[in-house]
Structure 1
Amino acid sequence: MKIVGLLLAAGQSSRMGQPKQLLLWKNRPLVAHIAHEALNSQLDGLTVVIGAAGEHVQAALRDLPVTIVSNPAYAAGLSTSLAAGLRALPSDTTAAMILLVDQPLVTSRLINDLIAAYRAIPTALALVPMYQGQRGNPVIVGAPLFAELQTLQGDTGARTVFQRYTDQIIWYQTDDPAVITDTDTPEAWQALNP
């Protein structure tokens, strides 16, 4: 089973007012921090989708062994980055873990826990982490869903597709709030950096 990481880092960060990808977390740009966590996990490689502030984001990743995919349509929403990333994955990919650039608390240990849970039920179409009843990220999607996910439009993630297959998805209960902690606004960022 080949599970590849897909880090979506192309967004415009409109609510943040500056590129989230480049905010400093533990003395490195957020995109590089999350890439490090992914690379230190059991994922079979990492593809990063860039768009807004693309040159700067690419520079932040220059020393890391990642595949970079540019999404010129990033302004049309999350679905375009998801499609661009899925198209760029190696043809023998079994599943992709979709990582979001605004989740600084996601660790390689959490990533490995999600991978282990997904591997335990190889017939599942996807895995969605749950924290106290809330759906979280990163999610894992199996290759059978890639084509359908590439038909999404606008600022939509995988959730709408998952609604069609709820009984074939692993709803993974975790006690790690990292899966629901993101930083969309300056206030949310400040709360993580008191």
Structure 2
Amino acid sequence: MTQIQPVLLAAGQSRRFGENKLLADFCYAGVTAPLLAHSLQPWLQQFERVLVVVPMIYQPLQKALQTALNDDYHRLDWLPSAQAEAGMGHSLADAVSATAEAEGWLIGLADMPLLPTEAIAGVADLLKQGAVLAAARYMQRQGHPVGFSSQFYSALSILQGDSGGRHLLKQHHAAIQFFDCQHPGVLTDVDTPQALQALQASAAISTSG
């Protein structure tokens, strides 16, 4: 079976949020926990282990997740990124370089707490079936997660800056195989406190209906 490495990028600086947004409380399905804990849940439902890329000082994240995830906490592999402050590209390059034996990488963002499990499973399946690039999509809009086959190892391992793998997806757009999802969570991330409040309100409506 094709070995797909799940990667959650959690090394951002949260500059627009004003503090580490991944530690902010978020309530979903009646459970209040750090934002990162909710973002991790669908990944832990699909994979036995998940690689989490973090800044060099990440002990507060560890402490928060030990409480929130309980036994599932031990299924996380932590990868500190020395150049995380320079942008997402460095974090992604570090993750790919550290797992060079993988046959593909499934990349997610740590500030997407409503990402549906089906999107993760769907994009992973496309990679396993031979897609060189794959991504979730909602109403014709490309979202996350995104998947890269080992064909892109060299390009991914030298990424820099804050664009992550976006330029690769744009450059090779015709090669992307999409998993069409019926949930807007594949597009929804959190950058500001206002965005978190709006997402919390939306989540409350969706779980009460």
When the two structures are superposed, what TM-score results if normalisation uses the length of structure 1? 0.89
| C-alpha distance in structure 2 between counterparts of 1:52 and 1:21, whole Å | 15
- The answer to whether 1:151 aligns with 2:158 is yes
5 Å-filtered alignment, 1:10-29, equals: 10-25=11-26, 26-29=31-34
Q: State the Cα deviation string for residues 5-51 of structure 1 (Å, max 9, x = none).
A: 1010011100111112112233222222222321111x353110111
Corresponding residue SS for 1:64: helix
Report the RMSD for the aligned CA atoms in angstroms.
Answer: 1.8
Q: Is the 8 A contact 1:7 1:100 kept in 2?
A: yes
> C-alpha displacement at 1:96, in angstroms?
1.1
Correspondent of 1:70 among 80, 84, 88 = 80
1:33 aligns with 2:38: yes
Task: Report deviation, 1:98.
Answer: 0.5
1:49 aligns with 2:53: yes
Correspondence 1:31-180 to 2 at 5 A? 31-41=36-46, 43=47, 45-51=49-55, 54-62=58-66, 63-89=73-99, 91=101, 93-120=102-129, 122=130, 124-180=131-187
Q: Is the 8 A contact 1:20 1:101 kept in 2?
A: no
**Dislocated runs of 4+, deviation >4 Å:** none
* Structure 1 letter corresponding to 2:89: S
Asked if the contact 2:104–2:127 (Cα under 8 Å) also holds between the matched residues in 1, the reply is: no
5+ long unaligned stretches in structure 1 = none
Q: Sequence identity of aligned pairs in percent?
A: 31
Comparing both structures, which one devotes a greater share of its residues to helix?
2
Amino acid at match of 2:44: L
1:169 and 1:34 map into 2 onto residues whose CA distance is: 24
Secondary structure of the 1:40 match is helix
Q: Partners of 1:150 and 1:32 in 2: how far apart?
A: 27
Contact 2:83 2:90 (C-alpha < 8 Å) held by counterparts: yes
* Contact 2:119-2:181 within 8 A present in 1 as well: no
Q: How many corresponding residue pairs?
A: 190
For structure 2, the residue ranges without an aligned partner over 5 or more in a row are: 67-72, 202-209
8 Å contact kept, 1:99–1:138: yes
Distance 1:60 1:141 in 2: 30
| AA in 2 matched with 1:159 | R
Secondary structure at the aligned position of 2:16 is classed as: coil
Q: Counterparts of 2:95 and 2:126 in 1: how far apart (Å)?
A: 23
Q: Which SS does the other structure have where 1:10 is aligned?
A: coil
How far apart are residue 172 of structure 1 and its match?
2.8
Structure 1 residues 70 and 108, CA, compared in 2 at 3 Å: closer, same or farther? same
